[in-house]
Chain A
Amino acid sequence: MDWTLFQQLFVNGIITGSRYGALGVGFGLILGVTGRFHFAYSISYVVTAYAAIIAADHGVPLLPALVVGLAAGAVLAMLIEGFVYRPLQSSAPTMALLAIFISSLGLVIVGQNLIRLEWGSRSKLLDTGFTVEGLSIGESTFTSLDVVMVCVLWAVILGVWALIRFTQPGKMISAVRVNPEMARVVGIDSGRVYLAVFAIGSTVAGVVALLSAMKYAALPDMGGQPTFLAFVVAFLAGVGAGPLRAGLTGLVVGMAESLSGLWLSSQWSPVVVFSLLFLYVAVKPLSLGVTLPTIARRLRTAGAR
């Protein structure tokens, strides 16, 4: 085995894995609590990056611009939940999965192409606010932005974990996730909890989007790949899994994808993720899954509301 290559791929694995983890945490929270197949996760992601870049272009200082971006993504997600998903759920609970997913597809197409029409298809870079330097440990190289990225992402993942674990709103979210009926009985307004979950989940995705816009650039279709990875990580972690588990699952997926470079050329790396997912789905019926009945129950009770 090539030791030098291994070191570099290992470091790359930590960087991409942290991204995947955060994406999975955000989407997993939404899927686990609301049961909605929120494909428009991708559009919150793009809007966050673009809003921050446009604010910065208009002379807003970096930090407020980032906040503007995150807020735009979160508000958009809440609007989608309130004005698109919720009415669909209550008007046709039996076909809610299909209706929500298809509307979600429609929203992604609309959002992506409105951005293309308005700002063109060329990429836009977000300023980092500091000089990016090259660093190295042993034989591996990376940048100071990568270090910031990994630290910020894990801070966010731990933050979501702490929020759910220790705060009052977080406990309400857990209550709705674990037992929506009981939560209703004790007077928790699940509609508001859903909105909060959409806001939190999209903010987490938004942080990833901002970092990606700094490292690579923002593009109108930048949300596609991250959303796919968010879905994969959330399902691999198990629907309803907590943030730590989703984060670590993302790390494992990113690491597996990166380390596959030891044997495969990098163009095959998407196949690695797909194979992981495929294997998981193939062996899934063998283990007694607790995840799907949970979703089914959630959809039913949400419909009855």
Chain B
Amino acid sequence: MELHLSGQMLLLGIGEYHLDIFNQMLIFAILALSLNLLIGFGGQVSVAHSALAAAGGYGAGYLSAEYGVPYIPAALAGVGFAVLLGTAVSIPALRLSSDYVILLTLSLSTVFVTLLVSLPYFGGSYGLLGIEGVSVFGNEIIRPSEFVRILLPVLVVVFLFTWRLGQSPFGRLIKGIREDEIATRSLGKNIFMYKVALFAITSGIAGLGGVCLVYYSQLASPTQFSFDAVTTMIAMVIIGGMGNLWGSLLGAALVIVSRPFLEKQVNADPEQAFLLQLVIYGTALVAVMRLRPAGIIPEGASIKSGLIRLNRFVTRSGGPAAQTAAEAADAGLAALMARHAARPPSRPGASGEDISQVESAVEVTGLVKHFGGIRAVDGLDFRLAAGRITGLVGPNGAGKTTVFNLITGAIRPDAGVVRLNGVNITNMSPHGVARRGMVRSFQDVRTLPRLTVLQNVMLAVPGQPGENLGSLFFRFRHTARVEKEARDKAMETLRFVGMEGKLAFPAGALSYGEQKLVALARMLATGADVLLLDEPASGIDQSWLDPVLDVILQLREMGKTICIVEHNLHVVERLADWVYFMEAGSVTAQGTMKDLISQPRLAEVYFGNA
């Protein structure tokens, strides 16, 4: 195909000069794709991409020039070196917030390029010369028209690789991390491992880009990998569109083509054109961030959605998407209301059973957590009866949300033991606790706003081989089959909460009540048996309240163990079989809601002195 293409270009009168520009475009497209995977999909801002490309390029170039290593092993070694360097630097930074990723990658690129110049081994600011040429079947590749036959297939392979990653469950997961690390972690995903994996992969592709650049120019020089170079790559990704791989191809093309264009049109000399080009895309970076942060081709944009938008623009109708959203919402609510009417929720505790006879799903003993001098949780004992709804109530600041954080491993307790189905889970990681079958919701829902409703829920399905790179690239059919199962499971839970009409909407576009239902569906999709709900009824519209509560009651009928933290005591009364009353970090009373309300002291503590 590439033969045909380059032949065609020659026919069209495109000479070596243009092919040289085309080749640079191909190389920078490789670098931009890799950076987009990291920034656009993974949400990690790295300024080390030029340093990583330099690691690859200089690594291969040094082996070739110093030791005469043939280009294929040298290239592989270069890529390997980039992966090692990228991984080593990212591991400490990725445990912290994204500020530290910027800081450490910035330092790496500053220091690495300084070293390349100052150390005596790499030709100083002139660069490394004497790199062996590339030859295929004994023919040395020299001219741009020959290089295009190698570079184009390399870019195609890199594109397919990044495309597969981006569209896979792995891509969904790293986008989840981008949107909300804590929420993604709470669904049983080891986010640190995925961040490191992503960093390693993108480092390797950056290294490959560097190798291509060095072999193409037969030179490894510090200017190729300067700070301007990394800014160029970032500009390609941002201008093209973060999270959209086509955008990076377009971005690379635009940025690279702009220089010869400036040389020709503005009659600037090459040096001036280069500076002018930097000024232009620096301005473009600022402008795009401000006016169109999604870039030219936004994430999730496809030809189809583009046509729809074009159509809307032409017909100037008042936004069909918005209309369908409202219609779908009404339909979802109507379906839930109908179900609610058909099957009024059973009364909790109506059987008058003795809850102490029910076995425990979760047992917490002597839990303690101090923050500085504040005793947030102070010797807490409670248990969640299996298959029942337990309420946790108390005045503001009693430590209820902290309890959820402690028992799910988000915060380490100072003392105390948490057992889940008899197993000590006290110091387990949050994703470990989730995998063992206890998941939580958040007061502020924490859906993943830029992922669709379906993606939000599919992300939560456990045991997806597509999140594993080995299966993703070597077990295509198995991966596809399980992915379909995950989709079915996600659809099923979405149907259960009545959100099946909104599969393709970004979760951030939904109303608060709808988001609560999506978050609930997400918890269900994990398959966990113990559900911790943090204020499931707060902040939602009155019309959504009954459906939400109904769903929770149905979950109990399905045998789930549920714990709710809730301020609305009517909600607790309707739902909870047993209620713990918390004050200042410990349980001061327990019983059914009716019992507790009848104690005047508790009412006074809860509502304040009247």
Q: Which residues of A contact B (CB under 8 A)?
A: 37, 84, 87-88, 91-92, 94-95, 97-99, 101-103, 105-114, 116-117, 224-225, 228, 231-232, 235, 267-268, 270-271, 273-274, 277-278, 281-282, 284-285, 289, 292, 295-296
Contacts and interface: CB of A to CB of B under 8 A. Distances in A.
Contact of A102 (B104, B118, B276, B285): B285
Contacts of B238: 102
B43 A106 contact: no
A281 B100 contact: yes
A131 B234 CA distance: 46
Contacts of A113: 275-276, 278-279, 282
A284 B101 CA distance: 13
A299 to B, nearest CB: 10
A289 B95 CA distance: 12
A105 B118 contact: no
A236 B293 CA distance: 32
A98 B43 contact: yes
B290 interface: yes
Nearest to A87: B290
B146 interface: no
Residue among A88, A105, A235, A278 having the largest count of chain B Cβ atoms under 10 Å: A105
Contacts, number: 130
B542 interface: no
Interface string B22-64: 0000000000000000010001010100000000000000000
Interface of B: 39, 43, 45, 47, 89, 92-93, 95-100, 102-104, 106-108, 110-111, 114-115, 118-119, 227-228, 231, 234-235, 238, 272, 275-276, 278-279, 281-286, 289-290, 293, 449
B110 A228 contact: yes
B447 to A, nearest CB: 13
B106 A110 contact: no
A108 B282 contact: yes
Nearest to A272: B111
Contacts of B290: 84, 87-88, 91, 103
A95 B111 contact: no
Contact of B107 (A105, A112, A232): A232
Given A98-B43, A267-B119, A273-B111, A106 B286 contact: yes
Contacts of A88: 289-290
Contact of A110 (B45, B102, B272, B279): B279
B45 A98 contact: yes
A100 to B, nearest CB: 8
Nearest to A35: B99
A117 B272 contact: yes
Residue among A106, A231, A270 having the largest count of chain B Cβ atoms under 10 Å: A106
- In order of increasing CB-CB distance, the 3 nearest A-B pairs are A106-B285, A109-B282, A110-B282
Given A98-B98, A285-B95, 20 more contacts: A95-B293, A99-B293, A102-B234, A106-B235, A106-B284, A106-B286, A108-B282, A109-B228, A110-B283, A110-B286, A113-B282, A114-B279, A231-B107, A267-B119, A268-B115, A270-B115, A270-B118, A273-B111, A278-B104, A281-B92
A111 B102 CA distance: 21
A88 B238 CA distance: 15
Nearest to B285: A106
6 contacts: A94-B449, A98-B39, A105-B234, A110-B278, A274-B107, A281-B93
Contacts of A111: 282
B391 to A, nearest CB: 29
A268 B227 CA distance: 20
A268 B108 CA distance: 14
Contacts of A94: 449
A228 B282 contact: no
Contact of A277 (B47, B107, B278, B281): B107
A101 B107 CA distance: 15
Contact of A228 (B98, B107, B228, B234): B107
Nearest to A224: B227
Contact of B289 (A99, A117, A225, A285): A99
A105 B115 contact: no
A102 B47 CA distance: 10
Given A270-B115, A284-B96, A105 B110 contact: no
B108 A267 contact: no
Contact of A295 (B97, B102, B118, B282): B97
Contacts of B100: 235, 281, 284
Contact of A106 (B47, B99, B103, B289): B289
B97 A106 contact: no
Contacts of B293: 92, 95, 99
A231 B100 CA distance: 10
Nearest to A280: B92
A281 B89 CA distance: 10
A91 B293 CA distance: 10
Contacts of B43: 98
A102 B45 contact: yes
Nearest to B280: A110
B442 to A, nearest CB: 15
B115 A267 contact: yes
Residue among B89, B282, B293 having the largest count of chain A Cβ atoms under 10 Å: B282
Given A103-B290, A228-B106, A37 B276 contact: no
A106 B47 CA distance: 13
A117 to B, nearest CB: 5
Contacts of B227: 224
Nearest to B120: A267
B96 A292 contact: yes
Residue among A109, A271, A278, A285 having the largest count of chain B Cβ atoms under 10 Å: A109
A92 B291 CA distance: 11
B282 to A, nearest CB: 3
A95 B99 CA distance: 12
Contact of A296 (B97, B272, B276): B97
Given A114-B279, A235-B103, A292-B97, A282 B92 contact: yes
B106 A97 contact: no
B281 A109 contact: yes
Nearest to B238: A102
